Chain A
């Protein structure tokens, strides 16, 4: 073969070693950060409802009603701590327009990657759930249930416990307000009325609640920095009561200026949402003295409040103009 032929053949073989053209790729749009960088930050703009916020070290979890969801299912939504695009949305399976309302409510995130929430199911449009469970699952897969407890207990005073509120982790245990739901008809519309009985703790793997002595009538609670519990009872809704970890008798730690509707611990300080005000008043006590240390007002009607671990920030559930959204604020 002539030298020219060899060189042409070599050139062809060399060209055959090139790479192929890559096909186009459909890339996911980048996640958005918070809509503005200055506090207070509006975390959600959902025209439907976002409620029951809980905060972990790197996420905010809440119960969300997606816009346009005709079956009124509540899903668990996950946000970055500073806000932005949802990183996860976990819902009950099934079509969006079925006749079942699945509510995944009151999430609580543990430091060890677990999420607990109340899962209830009602036949639409009935308001009373036909089934209600306390569920524990990995944060990454809230539908992969690792423990499930039927919410139907016997309180020490003999009353039946049919509802849980204010779910929080306390180490490997769950702490919550146990009570009863009733569904009175007010002005022709059924409503849900929660009656608190007391605080209780529960080990998910055991599944039997342990009422906490001295917390009868407690309807809001938050962890105290000494390992104890701050709580407010229906008997004295302005008084913040402290129950020490050593089991000593609870005592009044401080007094808010108005009845408390929600309570949280923010950077070790008890912070309360006060009732009956619009704009909403958020008031906090000095963690050492129990005296009122500050107060801020924000337009709207406040709901649940939760502190962001390791910061002076807190997430507030705020109702404005018919929408319930979450806001991120901080203590001055």
Chain B
């Protein structure tokens, strides 16, 4: 009957895994003599502020605990006090600890008998969250939270389960952070310092009704609190000692400290600074022409440096025994130059970008005492988030002081005008912008391809700010019921400015500057119930989301949009396995960049200008999931999950009339993602552990307005004019097969002083090719449907070796981190005009011929373009096809080099970590 019920539910209900902000400890307290439950036992954690009282069945539940290690203590009348140390609680996870108490009247040894059920199989843990502990970041070959997230099942290059970029949200200490302006094409602006991390989780399926603004995934990050004693950690990483070709100019310093301040006040402070001389290293093949300056050292690109500074500070103050105040502040500053092959021979004409993010959070928590019959946890969070980005020509090429560090702000041309959003003043040429012309100083001399200044003359600035108030309430009547409710209100402000071809005036034909300034509002409320009954655990939730773009760019009064998101999950035991089924509907407001008129590149369609639409609605997804967990042998676990996700109301650009350069954004397109995820894991036993994950997935988009595609495509050789209503094609992150292998080992101390205690982790990733879109040679029309081509498969092997030694209270560790150990040349993109990484000889000939035809003028001796070796007849003039065309050919080969079509090369960093 139970099987039938679950099967029926699996058909009706989509599957979802629910992640919660805090973890819980639950279990049963029994008498070891007779295994009878012990009622009214008080189970507490830490200093005794949080806890629970067992019910008649001996069960207890301590809810909403911040991730970390706890000391669990249980006392009951007539029994000896029992304590257990180092109980780990992860974000959104249930840690099950069953405890056996010894009667004080019976002279048995005080050692308690624990009956800890298998967490993998226990139906009381319905979550499928993938945890990332702080320790993982030290033993895995990763250096940022993003890199650790990328190792998780279902995550591909920032896409979660096949969705587009920006369908996820970062939740820091229970507070959502999202770049609502341009998450699909921009960055958050904040980088979470890994040294502050207590634990992170990745939820690719569904998530708690408590969180919105996401369709495909949630990444939670919990900061640790300062402890009772001062502790700190300093880490230095670099690739300086490595030989040429292995060194991309990396330097990184991380300093963290935590501990008491005054009385119960605790602090945490982290500074993370990183710079690279080549911030986007590529494994591109060297050029064939020896006159090409890159032929000497093809591995490190010049004028491609970047540096980042991340700072985090946190204060924790317990107020009485029931309340806690936390104050968290984060700031990130990053800046980098963007190497442009067209500007290869124009030193001093760099394009740069700066990004900063700031986040402040005040968190008040109230909890009931452990002896309360009903647990109540109330949280109030007030936060502010700001992200500002600017891109333009570099005004003052600051010198490097230490590796890629300049320790100064990268000044960009026109940034003051941009941030003032003065679109009237911006009609004139913007001071500091240079009109691009062909350089004279290339080895080839000819006026072609290589420019003196950025050709787009682009000045882009935007700022996104929001203030958010969030209230959460957890009520736990008894041990088996959790009721959560809450809501949030968000006030945002969006400011943008874009000017293209800023080296010339609008009167001279440049597109006018665009700017916007408006204040969207978001609101949400939710309620969620989790009920555990026997071997069933049911989670049901409902979320209501509201948003109003309040865009000032549209005269039409903006409507408030509404989305209702029900969620449901059920888990139980079926034979040797545990089964979890779930369903949920999720919604997120569109990127607000789509609300404003904008000039930008679109990867799928042609055109630079789009008309904003303040009436865009919610993007939504409906997800179904079924997961089976089993344990084939001791220490080995198997998880098999399958999911279907339907994406609705995706923002698409709809052409206006027949002008392909003009379009309006609309809600309409949809997509489908379905997949199977399999994970086989051998738990790390102190010597060996490992995990193999295989994901089979299909992610397809459906364009409901297919006119635009088919107008450009000949759908029939005989000129059939029937245009289908829809067109289906792969989504951008449709990776069909992904295999991830993580192996971890530790050399036993008995192996000797030299290698004993050395830890090693190997990560191998294999992924089938991502799709790409073919275009015509001119690049203005697509060939076939979007994403109808496939890149080659990708493979990388990363290794980290770490050796730690103790020196009194100080621990010193040295590590070597190697990414892409085999130095495989992964293809991450191809030329859209031929589907290859290189231009064909015919294309290069054509490129050279067209350039020659555009500038067939002779080059006289006195010209800086004159190259004596090209003057075959020595008459003082490089003239005619015989002398000029070879120069154009070599220049064409130079500009056609595939640089950014390849992934990173083998990257090695050496680090030393000192902890006290």
Spell out A's residues near B (CB within 8 Å): 1-2, 4-5, 8-9, 12-13, 15-29, 31-32, 35, 42-47, 66-68, 77, 79, 83-86, 93
Contact = CB atoms under 8 A, between A and B. Distances in A.
Contacts of B403: 20
A23 B297 contact: yes
B430 to A, nearest CB: 15
B862 A21 contact: no
Nearest to A326: B862
A45 B293 contact: no
B857 interface: yes
B862 A20 contact: no
A15 B241 contact: yes
B118 interface: no
Given A18-B240, A47-B877, 14 more contacts: A12-B912, A15-B241, A16-B910, A16-B912, A18-B241, A21-B249, A21-B297, A26-B347, A42-B861, A43-B862, A45-B875, A68-B856, A85-B863, A86-B864
Contacts of B347: 25-26
A153 to B, nearest CB: 33
Contacts of B442: 26
A322 to B, nearest CB: 13
Complex A-B, nearest 8 residue pairs according to Cβ-Cβ distance, in ascending order: A68-B857, A15-B241, A23-B302, A67-B857, A45-B860, A45-B876, A1-B807, A28-B441
B272 interface: no
Interface of B: 236, 238-241, 244-245, 247-249, 277-278, 293-294, 296-304, 344-345, 347, 403, 435, 441-443, 445, 753, 805-807, 812, 814, 855-864, 866-868, 875-877, 879, 910, 912
Contacts of B441: 26, 28-29
A133 B844 CA distance: 47
Contacts of A24: 293-294, 296-298, 300, 302
A324 B48 CA distance: 98
A79 B862 contact: yes
Contacts of B814: 8-9, 12
A16 B241 contact: yes
Contacts of A5: 805, 812
> Secondary structure of the B side of the interface?
loop
Contacts of A2: 753, 805
Nearest to A36: B876
A84 B868 CA distance: 12
A44 B862 contact: yes
Contacts of B812: 1, 5, 9
A44 B443 CA distance: 21
Contacts of A15: 240-241, 910
Contacts of B805: 1-2, 5
A24 B302 CA distance: 6
Given A5-B805, A20-B247, A45 B862 contact: yes
Nearest to A47: B858
Contacts of B912: 9, 12-13, 16
A26 B241 CA distance: 25
A232 to B, nearest CB: 31
B911 to A, nearest CB: 9
A16 B860 contact: no
Contacts of B248: 21
A18 B239 CA distance: 9
B267 to A, nearest CB: 29
Nearest to B816: A12
Nearest to B249: A20
Most buried by B among A15, A18, A45: A45
Nearest to B304: A23
A13 B445 CA distance: 46
A68 B877 CA distance: 14
25 contacts: A2-B805, A4-B753, A12-B814, A15-B910, A16-B240, A16-B912, A17-B240, A19-B240, A23-B302, A23-B303, A23-B304, A24-B294, A24-B296, A25-B293, A26-B302, A26-B345, A29-B443, A32-B868, A45-B861, A45-B877, A47-B857, A66-B857, A85-B862, A85-B866, A93-B435
Nearest to A79: B862
A42 B867 CA distance: 17
Contacts of A19: 240
Contacts of B302: 23-26
B404 to A, nearest CB: 8
A9 B807 CA distance: 12
Contacts of A84: 862
B293 A16 contact: no
Contacts of A17: 240
A86 B862 contact: yes
Contact of A46 (B244, B277, B862): B862
Nearest to A5: B805
> Which of A12, A19, A29, A79 neighbours the largest number of chain B CB atoms within 10 Å of its CB?
A29
A66 B304 CA distance: 35
A84 B861 CA distance: 8
A28 B910 CA distance: 36
Contacts of B857: 47, 66-68
B855 A83 contact: no
Contacts of A66: 857
A27 B867 contact: no
A39 B4 CA distance: 105
Of B249, B299, B443, B862, chain A has the most CB atoms within 10 Å of the CB of: B862
A143 B583 CA distance: 70
B425 to A, nearest CB: 20
A12 B876 contact: no
Contacts of A77: 862
